[in-house]
Amino acid sequence: MKLLLLFFLLLWEGVFGSVELEKGRIELVLKKLADGSATEEELKAVKAYFQELPVKVEKYLVLYAKGLLAEREGKLEEALRFYLSSIELNPFYNPSYYRFNFLIRRVEKPELYRKRLVKILKQRFLKTPPVLVENPPDRYVFIVEKMSQYLFIFKGKKLVEMHPVTTGKNLGDKEREGDARTPEGLYYFTRIIPPDELADVYGGIAVAINYPNPYDRLVGKTGGGIWLHGSNEEDRNKLPFSTRGCVVADNEALKKSILPKISLLNTLIGIYKVVPTELKLDDVKGFLKAWEKAWEEKDLERYLSFYSESFRWKGGGKDEWRRYKRRTILSKKFIKVEIKDLTVLAFAKKGQKEPLYYLVEFFQEYESDSYADKGIKRMYIVKEGRKLKILSEEFQEVGER
């Protein structure tokens, strides 16, 4: 009898009372809302609480919330429509992208919804994103946005192609080996891997990138083996957020369109959580012009002042660079340097107003009284205080372009 009475008391408390509400612990009610155990009374209290908050809620977030509710009720196609409407109103950073991409794999006709997303993204990138600072009109640059799960290919500064891709199954920036995250940063392609060296899962197509780059190493990131590759599974690229860290594209798109645009000499790829819409950019061209002038004038100390104390190159650090440049600069009667075909990419994380660093690449012609060469120079340039500094530099002699 006592057990039966206790049962009815607990039932009454669960339906007609809320200890969390009585204690004013709205955060505990939110947890119950998240796991689906909130009572009707608690739901009403939560709604009333948030209606009284002195904040303006944009329409795109209202649509996002409607999508979450539809998703919770199992109305997946209705949820997708809410998320797309939200993205139309705010096509830049928007959590609706993530929900859209997690749901798209669970509906019967995903392409109907994907076509609408493609239309939104094309409109968004009619304006060149600020991260693409400089690029010759005939040069391709690749930009991967993890939020939208798309690869955007620019020729010069114009969007010419876009392809659905999938990235790491764990959200966030890659930090260590095995974290199943796709790195965010600026990279270049280092090697097209022969098909006979690839396991079947890569679909016979893979191109390696230089992760971890010099900036990644500076901030302590580890790991490696990050590729742009295909798959032996049909439509694998349309299963968003599902890789171990690589970027996976469609096999046919890779063969016919993407690979032909990749040059190991001078094709850069930027990977972003979300491509920034506004950035306060530094005068990278002016920085390079001053660096070039100091080199031509054989002003060793001024030339070295352009380099970070953390500078790395194939011969070591800044001390080794100083000794090498003292020998090669001061021994010359004259030096002439010319920079052509400059590409500049900027990297910033979500919410940052200024770039963390830049990747620059250009064709360099060098001539002195005793030596001359031509080739591709690539630099990572960081900000130390308010000044730009060269973090790394490499040169590949190629003769004529």
Domains and CATH numbers, the chain: 2-51 (no CATH), 59-123 (1.25.40), 125-272 (2.40.440.10), 284-397 (3.10.450.50)
Kindly give the confidence (pLDDT) of every residue in the chain, 401 residues in length, as a single tens digit, with 9 standing for 90 and above: 444 343 333 333 444 456 776 677 878 877 887 787 888 888 888 788 888 888 888 999 999 999 999 999 999 999 999 999 999 999 999 999 999 999 998 999 999 999 999 999 999 999 999 999 999 999 999 999 999 999 999 999 999 999 999 999 999 999 999 999 999 999 999 999 999 999 999 999 999 999 999 999 999 999 999 999 999 998 898 999 999 999 999 999 999 999 999 999 899 999 999 999 999 999 999 999 999 999 999 999 999 999 999 999 999 999 999 999 999 999 999 999 999 999 999 999 999 999 999 999 999 999 999 999 999 999 999 999 999 999 999 999 996 55
Say if CB 58 and CB 96 are below 8 A apart: no
Say if CB 210 and CB 190 are below 8 A apart: yes
Amino acid making up residue 342:
L
pLDDT at 73: 93
- Quick one: 27 exposed, middle or buried, by C-beta within 10 A (0-12, 13-18, 19+)? exposed
Q: At what angle do helices 110-124 and 76-89 cross, to 10 degrees?
A: 10
pLDDT at 195: 94
Q: What is the pTM of this model?
A: 0.91
Amino acid making up residue 292:
E
**Cross-sheet strand order for the sheet of 387-397:** 132-134, 335-347, 357-368, 372-384, 387-397, 307-312
Give CA–CA dist 57/33, Å, rounded.
20
In terms of DSSP H, where are the helices of 125-173?
none
DSSP-derived pairing of the beta strands 247-248 and 227-229: parallel
- Please report the DSSP string for 188-257 in residue order: EEEEEPPGGGS-GGGTT-EEEE--S-HHHHHTT------EEE--SSTTGGGS-S-BSSSEE--HHHIIII
Q: What are residue 313's DSSP bridge partners?
A: 316
pLDDT at 399: 66
pLDDT at 17: 54
Residue where the block lists tokens 């994380």: 349
